[in-house]
Chain A
Amino acid sequence: MKKITKYVLTDILRNKIIIGYTIFLLLISMSLFNLEDSSSKGLLSLLNIVLIIVPLVSVIFSTIYIYNSAEFIELLVSQPLKRKQLWGSLFTGLAGSLAFSFFIGIGIPVLLFAASATGYIMIAMGLLLTVIFVAIAMFAAVIARDKAKGIGLAIFLWLYFSLLFDGLVLFVLFQFQDYPLEKFMIVASALNPIDLSRIMVLLKMDTSALMGYTGAVFRDFFGTNTGFIIAILILFSWIVALFWWSLRKFIRKDL
């Protein structure tokens, strides 16, 4: 398993797209920190990158990589290897290299310019989102045989988590306006890793808004240490559940 992971990692890290992605993130975070008057404003602008661009690139790159490695996967499946190991290696390789890119591109600038609790949480959330969206990509790639369909599914899932889900939440909020929905909102946020990460960062950042209003509920739940641990556990269970699901599919898949 380690060996294959090593080979996948070296392959991806030499990939031009990954290098470009790293440089892109690095340029963006450097320029944001240098242009904005305060590091907290820089962090705020970076938040959008972390919540939108990072998942998008992670999911698309991983899906395409899996499809492009179809023959390679085939070759290795015909070797005396467990499929579980192979899939695990691919996952570790993809997640590891994309997380590495993220850490170089955003993590290090944040550590240099805005080393605060907010900054650390943002790095942690970015890393977790990267891994979650790699898992989503592998899920999409294992479900759809056709490359175009698979990439379509991956993009749709990204769109769902970053936009459609929130639209649905808004819809539900207005449909059931007269009911107390605070608890529902907590559950809803756990159902979307992007929302959950955003709330975790905002709780450290925009304390004013979230603390005051409904925020009180979120603050009582996620703002405490227990809540923080719960949120991290939820994000990890996203990774585990998605990967486990795709693994089950992969083990039974005809290549």
Chain B
Amino acid sequence: MIIANNVTKRFGKLTALNNVSVTCNKGECIALIGPNGSGKTTFIKSILGMVVPDSGFITFNGKNIVHDWKYRSHIGYMPQIGRYPDNMTIGQVIRMMKDIRADKTGKAVDESLIKEFGLDQLQQKRMRTLSGGTRQKVSASLAFLFDPDVLILDEPTAGLDPLSSEMLKEKIKSEKEKGKLVMITSHILSELDDLITQVIYMQDGNVQFHKKLSDLQKDTGEEKLSRAIASVMAKN
């Protein structure tokens, strides 16, 4: 569904992505793992067209994404830090997003997360008054709102309380089961265990490996993702 081909991106001297080639398919749930500054977010942003690669290309459903913007209607993106116009209320933000995307997809909206998080009771709250966690809830709800084929979640559970975190995980799981492609970056590896099917491990802009979770477990002999990764890192 998403194919990255020798994608390279430099910021000055720093090479954020170095010849990255990855293939992601429907029904997969991919964990994008790596130390800080390994290029995870840059890679996600490249897929979203927010960062333009220096060389290489990315295709979405077989079409090159350069100069295209319509493909993004198939993607739900939850950024690491969600900041919104200070003076808008939650209700307005949600309505605005619906407004922007509604006529593009024509699909029914999925408001289940909004209800589960109780955001419909906070409709009148202005964005600047919200806590970090509530903002994350808004970001998450927006990512799932349009029932997209691909979900890209950058640190989805950071800042969420355990209950909401669990709700979100449940949601991700159910979406995965619908056959969607899900990409997650997270530092908290433990919570990814029962979600993911594949692991992409990045370091210094390179993809170290792209394996099925089961293969990784087999190779390292570790059941837990965190332990498996740790043993890989130790080997390196």
Contacts and interface: CB of A to CB of B under 8 A. Distances in A.
Given A15-B87, A75-B84, A80-B70, A3 B51 contact: no
Given A7-B85, A11-B87, A71-B81, A77 B100 contact: no
Interface of A is mostly: helix
A145 to B, nearest CB: 10
Interface of B: 9, 11, 45, 48-52, 69-73, 75, 77, 79, 81-88, 92, 96-97, 99-101, 104, 142
A68 B86 CA distance: 9
A76 B70 CA distance: 13
Nearest to A254: B51
Contacts of A242: none
Contacts, number: 74
B97 A79 contact: yes
A237 interface: no
A252 B83 contact: no
Which of A3, A68, A78, A81 lies at the interface centre, i.e. has the most chain B CB atoms within 10 A of its CB? A78
Contact-size category for A: 20 to 34
Contact of A4 (B45, B77, B82, B100): B100
A207 interface: no
A81 B100 contact: yes
A248 interface: no
B174 to A, nearest CB: 23
A77 B79 contact: no
Contacts of A80: 69-73, 100-101, 104
A146 interface: no
A15 to B, nearest CB: 6
Contact of B82 (A69, A75, A76, A77): A75
Contacts of A77: 48-50
B50 A72 contact: no
A78 B100 contact: no
B132 to A, nearest CB: 12
15 contacts: A3-B99, A4-B100, A69-B85, A71-B79, A71-B81, A71-B82, A75-B82, A75-B84, A76-B100, A78-B75, A78-B79, A80-B100, A81-B100, A254-B11, A254-B51
Given A74-B50, A254-B50, A255-B45, A81 B85 contact: no
Contact of A3 (B50, B71, B96): B96
Given A14-B87, A254-B50, 20 more contacts: A4-B100, A7-B88, A7-B96, A10-B88, A15-B87, A69-B85, A71-B81, A71-B83, A78-B50, A79-B72, A79-B97, A80-B69, A80-B71, A80-B72, A80-B100, A81-B69, A254-B9, A254-B11, A254-B51, A255-B45
Interface in A1-38: 3-4, 7-8, 10-11, 14-15
